[in-house]
Amino acid sequence: MRSKIPYFIMIPSILSVIMFMFYIIFGDHYIGHPITISFFITITILLFILDSIDDLIFRRKIKFLTEKKRRQILEENEGNYFFIFYKFIFHDPKINQEVKRIDHGFDGIIELDNKLPMWWIHLFYLTIVFSFIYFFSYFLTDFSNPYKEYEIAYKKQLKEIEIFEKKTPQVTIANAFFNKKFIDSGKILFEENCATCHQSDGSGNIGPNLTDDYWINIVDKNLFKNIFSIIWNGSKNNPTMRAFGESGEIKGNDIQKISSYVYFINTKSKKPIKSKTHQGKKIMDWN
Ligand code: HEC
């Protein structure tokens, strides 16, 4: 008769296998869900009940053994569980048998047919079992499927962006301000959205030169706010310069960055070598 594996090894092992299967099938979607938690609590209670039934049967069975045998089994039961586990994995009763020799006869070479070690065989079976679990979970569930994982991560990120944008209010003309830190990112945005008409250095093309002191549109006494306002509302007298902010094409925060870049190229002393001729009125006394 085999000795009994104690409950504090058996139950956690079975539980972890069930949890692993649960994770493979459902992923981490339902981990904190009350139903999941009660499911695992129920399973734990069931395992305890099963174990006590098993314990009862075990005690019943050893009652019919001789005193000596009973003591032997009970002693085995109380031993070092790691050693029992070690024996289960590595011990093979056949290992001590004599090594089989295969005699090829004709060349005088004798081949030794050694038994494979137990740990190797157990590992081999484990890989087969795992490959089945993995195979079915890969094809029947979303586990480890890169396309599904990508989709989930992508949706999650979109949601995070949405939440972020809702939480952080966009800058408006009322609270926009110039910041040196925005110049670099503003330059990139300017090249993407404005360079077709104004050139990437702001020297002008279809749209006017933005680096000189001449302005067609004067809607604010402050230079930075004037720039912000034109980008937000567009030009009243030429629809080619459209209302980027009002139409929602560019968000307030990005307009603040672009405006910082335009403000920077307009106020810095080094002007582009070639630029479009002045248009509008010369304004020097900005606030
Ligand atoms: C489709 C071409 C086009 C694009 C794209 C464009 N603009 Fe303009 N922009 C113009 C034109 C044309 C004017 C002149 C409007 C007028 O005559 O009132 C202008 C005027 C301006 C002015 C006012 C200049 C002045 O002297 O009054 C600013 C500032 C400006 N644009 C910035 C930008 C920025 C920043 C962007 C990118 C977000 C941009 N523009 C994109 C064509 C464009």
Give the distance (Å) from ligand 1 centre to CA of residue 272.
Answer: 18
Reduce the secondary structure of the chain to three states and give it as a string: CCCCCCHHHHHHHHHHHHHHHHHHHHCCCCCCCHHHHHHHHHHHHHHHHHHHHHHHHHHHHHHCCCHHHHHHHHHHHCCCHHHHHHHHHHCCHHHHCCCEEEECCCCCCEEEECCCCHHHHHHHHHHHHHHHHHHHHHHHCCCCCHHHHHHHHHHHHHHHHHHHHHHCCCCCCCCCCCCHHHHHHHHHHHHHHCHHHHCCCCCCCCCCCCCCCEECCCCCCCHHHHHHHHHHHCCCCCCCCCCCCCCCCCCHHHHHHHHHHHHHHHHCCCCCCCCCCCCCEECCCCC
Task: For residue 208, tell me if it sits in a domain.
Answer: yes
**Binding site membership of 206 for ligand 1 (Cβ less than 6 Å):** yes
Task: For residue 103, tell me if it sits in a domain.
Answer: yes
Give the distance (Å) from ligand 1 centre to CA of residue 231.
Answer: 7
pLDDT per residue over 64-74, tens digit each?
888 888 887 77
Give the distance (Å) from ligand 1 centre to CA of residue 88.
Answer: 80
Give the distance (Å) from ligand 1 centre to CA of residue 83.
Answer: 81
Domain boundary among 40, 68, 91: 91
Q: Which two structure tokens, joined as six digits, stand for 261?
A: 């870049």
The domain of 225 spans 180-282
pLDDT band of residue 156 (cuts 50, 70, 90) is: very high
pLDDT the model gives residue 78:
66
Of residues 218 and 133, which shows the higher confidence score? 218
| Mean pLDDT to the nearest integer, 276-280 | 92
Task: For residue 287, tell me if it sits in a domain.
Answer: no
Give the distance (Å) from ligand 1 centre to CA of residue 166.
Answer: 29
Shared-domain flag, residues 55 and 136: no
- Are the C-beta atoms of residues 249 and 170 closer than 8 Å to each other? no
Q: How far is CA 213 from CA 190, 200, 218, 220, 285, in A?
A: 19, 18, 12, 15, 10
Give the number of domains in the chain.
Answer: 3
Task: For residue 247, tell me if it sits in a domain.
Answer: yes
The domain that holds 271 is classified in CATH as: 1.10.760.10
Q: Please name the amino acid found at residue 94.
A: K
Question: How far, in Å, CA of 209 to CA of 225, rounded?
Answer: 18
Give the distance (Å) from ligand 1 centre to CA of residue 200.
Answer: 13
| Mean pLDDT to the nearest integer, 174-191 | 95
- Residue closest via CA to ligand 1's atom 39 equals 194
Of residues 123 and 111, which shows the higher confidence score? 123
Radius of gyration of the chain (CA): 39
Of residues 198 and 81, which shows the higher confidence score? 198
**Binding site membership of 227 for ligand 1 (Cβ less than 6 Å):** yes
Give the distance (Å) from ligand 1 centre to CA of residue 136.
Answer: 59
Res. 189: pLDDT tops 80: yes
Find tokens 């092992």 and name the residue: 13
Question: How far, in Å, CA of 283 to CA of 32, rounded?
Answer: 64
Phi, psi of 154 (to 5 degrees): -65, -45
Task: For residue 259, tell me if it sits in a domain.
Answer: yes
Of residues 84 and 169, which shows the higher confidence score? 169
**Binding site membership of 241 for ligand 1 (Cβ less than 6 Å):** yes
Residue 279 CA: nearest ligand 1 atom is 26
Of residues 168 and 281, which shows the higher confidence score? 281
Shared-domain flag, residues 25 and 8: yes
pLDDT per residue over 218-229, tens digit each?
999 999 999 999
Give the distance (Å) from ligand 1 centre to CA of residue 187.
Answer: 15
Q: Which two structure tokens, joined as six digits, stand for 41?
A: 């609590």
Task: For residue 173, tell me if it sits in a domain.
Answer: no
pTM, to two decimals: 0.56
Of residues 4 and 68, which shows the higher confidence score? 68
- Are the C-beta atoms of residues 43 and 15 closer than 8 Å to each other? yes
Least confident of 42-46, 83-87, 261-265, 276-280: 83-87
pLDDT the model gives residue 92:
59
- Are the C-beta atoms of residues 70 and 62 closer than 8 Å to each other? yes
Task: For residue 116, tell me if it sits in a domain.
Answer: yes
Q: Considering the chain, what is the average pLDDT of its residues?
A: 87
pLDDT the model gives residue 94:
56
Q: Please name the amino acid found at residue 20.
A: F
Question: How far, in Å, CA of 119 to CA of 57, rounded?
Answer: 31
- Residue closest via CA to ligand 1's atom 1 equals 240
pLDDT band of residue 251 (cuts 50, 70, 90) is: very high
**Binding site membership of 198 for ligand 1 (Cβ less than 6 Å):** yes
Question: How far, in Å, CA of 45 to CA of 37, rounded?
Answer: 12
Residue 237 CA: nearest ligand 1 atom is 18
Domain boundary among 168, 197, 219: 168
Domain boundary among 39, 70, 91: 91
CA nearest to 201, candidates 269, 279, 261, 277: 261
**Binding site membership of 208 for ligand 1 (Cβ less than 6 Å):** yes
Of residues 81 and 135, which shows the higher confidence score? 135
Res. 123: pLDDT tops 80: yes
Task: For residue 31, tell me if it sits in a domain.
Answer: yes
- Residue closest via CA to ligand 1's atom 34 equals 194
